[in-house]
Amino acid sequence: MIEPLKHLGTTQVQPEKLDAGFSDIAPPLSKRQAALESERCLYCYDAPCVNACPSDIDIPEFIRQIAQDNVDGAAKTIWSENILGGSCARVCPTEILCEQACVRNKAEECAPVLIGQLQRYATDNADKSAHPFQRAQASGKRVAIVGAGPAGLAAAHRLAMLGHDVVIHEAQPKSGGLNEYGIARYKMTNDFAQKEVEFLLGIGGIEIVHNSALGRDITLDQLKNDHDAVFLAIGLGSTRTLALGHEDAPGVMPAVDYIRELRSTNDLNTLPVPESAVIIGAGNTAIDMAVQIKRLGAEEVHLVYRRGEEAMSATDHEQALARDEGVQIRTWARPETIELDNSGKVAGMRFVRTTLDESGKLVDTDRSFSLNAQAIFKAIGQVMITEDLDPAIEISGGKLLVDEQLRTTLAGVYAGGDCTGTGQDLTVEAVQQGKKAAESIHQDLMAAGDK
């Protein structure tokens, strides 16, 4: 039960329409479509798409392999740099990364090569009966990882491939992190996140302990004492507050909590759905929340952001998706008051119009407006829970401070993913940081062993 919304009714949308609304938003390419699309690639020698890919995948090479009907080879090329290439093909904003950089992305060419869909084609259709990579000779080293999200899983796989034994402690009952719990249900269907985890574990040498949370079930000191290195991939565990009165009233909740329940339920008809909703935020989580609550049957959905559309972190593609669903995107408005009905439940929200002053600072104006809403969903970013960390680990800007090799300020402890202040909080960047941290850990362990 989603406690803050338990007073609301459930969806009235017919089951067949619900199924359609939460089915795969981007159906996979057929073999014929993949062949034709792969032939559009110019296989550039100094490919700009590779430079734009956070995980350094050799994009022209895997597309060439698809054109040559070598799907297994194409998938291995992808997995060699991004072992979570299947999920990244589904959720990565390719329109602002590799596909934006594609040399065919010009007016006279009509469209870039569909790199993301080709990546999905390769990773979906490759033979997975045997794991594509072999472990190196056992190093005798043991590494602990906290968090089984994209960064933790990527680090675990690379460490295992390098010959180390890995134990992952995951607070949730399932692995996958945001891939499992935090993205729109229509972006990752058919339990794909779990299937990808099973594939990744095929390398061997990786143990995952679920329902094991840092500070509650394990301590950093324990992990340091029992292992040769520790990698923190703890994500961001708490949603920011609006700092307004009545924020704990029935009807107010973090968007990520609702999305988690939506992704976890086997029956969408059991979810509480407001007739009207306000989503506060400007990122992909805000868009995911707005689109999904609309598809669940909310009649009126407003997404409100304090700055202009050009400052929204959600891509143009995501914004267009929300508008196509009938979501009203309102900008230049700051939440001022949560309005309640006579029984103390959310009835709406009052906003102050904002603008930029001459120095470019966001300021309030003398104008305001109100929106009716049975539910308010906060998608204003998350903050890290730091009380379970060693004081020797330096925090900067609310995130773990790491050097170029992903080392924290505590010897033997590394970090990557959303809990660090590097990158754009994208899945593909979390994977890259996990891979890079694993290589740093390997080099440091081997150097220490030589002394």
* Each residue's pLDDT tens digit, 224-257: 999 999 999 998 877 888 989 999 999 999 999 9
Q: Are residues 252 and 329 in the same domain?
A: yes
Q: Are residues 182 and 216 in the same domain?
A: yes
Give how many domains the chain has, as a whole number.
Answer: 3
CA triplet 367, 371, 376: central angle to 5 degrees?
120
Ordered strands of the 346-356 beta sheet:
333-340, 346-356, 362-372
Average pLDDT of span 196-219: 95
Q: Are residues 429 and 345 in the same domain?
A: no
Q: Are residues 158 and 190 in the same domain?
A: yes
pLDDT mean across residues, the chain: 94
Instruction: Report yes or no on 215 lying in a domain.
Output: yes
Q: Are residues 375 and 390 in the same domain?
A: no
Q: Which residues pair with 214 in a beta bridge?
A: 218
Domain boundary residue among 323, 352, 379? 379
Looking at residue 50, its pLDDT comes to: 95
Q: Are residues 35 and 90 in the same domain?
A: yes
- Stated pTM of the model: 0.94
Distances 382 to 5, 393, 425 between C-alpha atoms, Å: 21, 20, 11
Instruction: Report yes or no on 192 lying in a domain.
Output: yes
Which CATH number belongs to the domain containing residue 84 in this structure?
1.10.1060.10
The most confident of 321-330, 386-395, 441-450, by mean pLDDT: 321-330
Q: Are residues 258 and 359 in the same domain?
A: yes
Residue 270 has pLDDT above 60, yes or no: yes
Strands 375-379, 276-281: pairing kind: parallel
Strands (E), 95-247: 142-146, 165-169, 206-209, 229-232, 238-239
**How many whole angstroms separate alpha carbon 263 and alpha carbon 183?**
8
Contact call for residues 57 and 81 (beta carbons, < 8 A): yes
Question: Which tens digits make up the pLDDT trace of 347-357?
Answer: 999 999 999 99
Residue 342 has pLDDT above 80, yes or no: yes
Give 402 or 110, the one with higher predicted confidence: 402
Instruction: Report yes or no on 399 lying in a domain.
Output: yes
From the number of C-beta atoms within 10 Å of its C-beta (0-12, 13-18, 19+), residue 294 rates as buried
169 DSSP 8-state letter: E
Average pLDDT of span 179-204: 95
Domain boundary residue among 65, 93, 125? 125
SS (H, E, C) 92-131: CCHHHCHHHHCCCCCHHHCCCCCHHHHHHHHHHHCCCCCC
Instruction: Report yes or no on 135 lying in a domain.
Output: no
Confidence band for 294, pLDDT divided at 50, 70 and 90: very high
Closest of 167, 157, 176 to residue 80, by C-alpha: 157
Confidence band for 445, pLDDT divided at 50, 70 and 90: very high
Closest of 161, 166, 227, 238 to residue 418, by C-alpha: 238
Q: Are residues 219 and 322 in the same domain?
A: no
Q: Are residues 399 and 417 in the same domain?
A: yes
Q: Are residues 212 and 342 in the same domain?
A: no
Looking at residue 340, its pLDDT comes to: 97
**How many whole angstroms separate alpha carbon 153 and alpha carbon 21?**
30
Q: Which domain holds residue 52?
A: 31-125
Looking at residue 385, its pLDDT comes to: 76
Contact call for residues 138 and 163 (beta carbons, < 8 A): yes
Euclidean distance between the first and final Cα of the chain, in Å?
Answer: 56
Looking at residue 425, its pLDDT comes to: 76
Residue 22 has pLDDT above 60, yes or no: yes
Percent of the chain with pLDDT over 90: 87
Residue 451 has pLDDT above 60, yes or no: no
Q: What share of the chain is helix, strand, coil (3-state, %, to 5)?
A: 35, 20, 45
CB atoms within 10 A of CB 198: 11
Residue 450 has pLDDT above 70, yes or no: no
Q: Are residues 283 and 344 in the same domain?
A: yes
Which CATH number belongs to the domain containing residue 338 in this structure?
3.50.50.60
Looking at residue 28, its pLDDT comes to: 95
Q: In 341-382, which residue ranges form alpha helices assigned H by DSSP?
A: none
Distances 216 to 146, 212, 288, 335, 387 between C-alpha atoms, Å: 13, 7, 31, 35, 11
**How many whole angstroms separate alpha carbon 154 and alpha carbon 196?**
11
Residue 1 has pLDDT above 70, yes or no: no
Average pLDDT of span 412-433: 89
Q: Which of 23-32, 64-73, 344-353, 391-400 shows the lowest per-residue confidence on average (mean pLDDT)?
A: 391-400
Average pLDDT of span 94-108: 90
